[in-house]
Amino acid sequence: MFINNGIIPTPERIIVYGPEGIGKSTIASNFPNPLFIDVENSTSELNVARFDTIPKDWSSFVEMVLYVKEHPDICDTLVIDSLDWTEKLCIKHICESSGKESIGDFAYGAGYTRLADEIQKMLSVLSEITECGIHIVMTAHSMIRKFERPEESGAYDRFELKLEKKTAPLYKEWATMLLFCDYETNVVLDSNNKAKARGGDRVIHTCHHPCWDAKNRKNMPEKLPLSYDSLAPYIYNSNKNHMEVNND
């Protein structure tokens, strides 16, 4: 039996989420040697490697994931674009295999339980892929939910992953980084001294906030410019034989 000391370099499990069109896929495309599973057919304008077919069902998506597991030299980063579209494939698979019109048609919430089980199995396979030295980056869209704490009066808007309530916690627990991308809003006064909001720079939020989910384990600043260059110092080099921190 041996004891290890110090930091152990490991590939990242990253979820990048935010509103449509903000640049999530572009950030993912700048990770080391990426391979896209382009579920929502959104990478046609990006110069990236991708599977030559778009997964139309859950079985074809799983087949692509397993192919990467069996051929770990094919890439240094596996990108799943996007989670919410992938989850739709899983829901469709569960409903069709049981002859249901929707996942809500199952008695006692059994459909959502089956969905969570399928997602957990997929996350386990993705974890095995990271053990081969491959980063996992998954994009997702955001949505706004009303949130109210029992001990406080009033509700407020909160940005969350656009996923089912049973599966979103599984992804958040699994990820080493949960990054929320958004536009920084600047409030200015007009000629009548009335406050108006103006769209500002695109940013990445890296830490939890009452208005959004985010986390990291790298002591990152709470806010970064929305670019891969901002993340690069916190991403381990994906050389599978000798991973080290990229401090360039």
Q: What mean pLDDT comes out for the span 159-177?
A: 94
Looking at residue 203, what is its pLDDT? 95
The most confident of the ranges 44-48, 150-154, 176-180, 195-199 is: 176-180
pLDDT tens profile 19-44: 998 999 999 999 999 999 999 998 88
- The residue among 177 and 197 whose pLDDT is bigger is 177
Residue 103, pLDDT > 80, answer yes
Residue 195, pLDDT > 70, answer no
Identify the band that residue 129 occupies on the pLDDT scale cut at 50, 70 and 90. Answer: very high
Is residue 181 within 8 A of residue 202, CB to CB? The reply is yes
Looking at residue 5, what is its pLDDT? 82
pLDDT over 90 percentage in the chain: 71
pLDDT tens profile 140-163: 999 988 776 665 555 678 899 999
Q: What mean pLDDT comes out for the span 211-225?
A: 93
What residue ranges do the domains of the chain occupy? 13-234
pLDDT over 70 percentage in the chain: 86
Quote the tokens at residue 240.
């599978």
Looking at residue 243, what is its pLDDT? 38
Average pLDDT, the chain: 87
Looking at residue 163, what is its pLDDT? 93
Rounded alpha-carbon distances, angstroms, from residue 1 to 4, 5, 112, 131: 10, 14, 42, 21
Tell me the pTM: 0.86
Which are the contacts of 31, defined by CB distance < 8 A and separation ≥ 6? 76, 77, 79, 135, 137, 228, 235
CATH topology for 13-234? Rossmann fold (3.40.50)
The three-state DSSP-derived secondary structure of the chain is: CCCCCCCCCCCCEEEEEECCCCCHHHHHHCCCCEEEEECCCCCCCCCCEECCCCCCCHHHHHHHHHHHHHCHHHCCEEEEECHHHHHHHHHHHHHHHHCCCCHHHCHHHHHHHHHHHHHHHHHHHHHHHHCCCCEEEEEEEEEEEEECCCCCCCCEEEEEECCCCCCHHHHHHHCCEEEEEEEEEEEEECCCCCEEEEEEEEEEECCCECCECCECCCCCCCEEECCHHHHHHHCECCCCCCCCECCC
Residue 247, pLDDT > 50, answer no
Is residue 69 within 8 A of residue 56, CB to CB? The reply is no
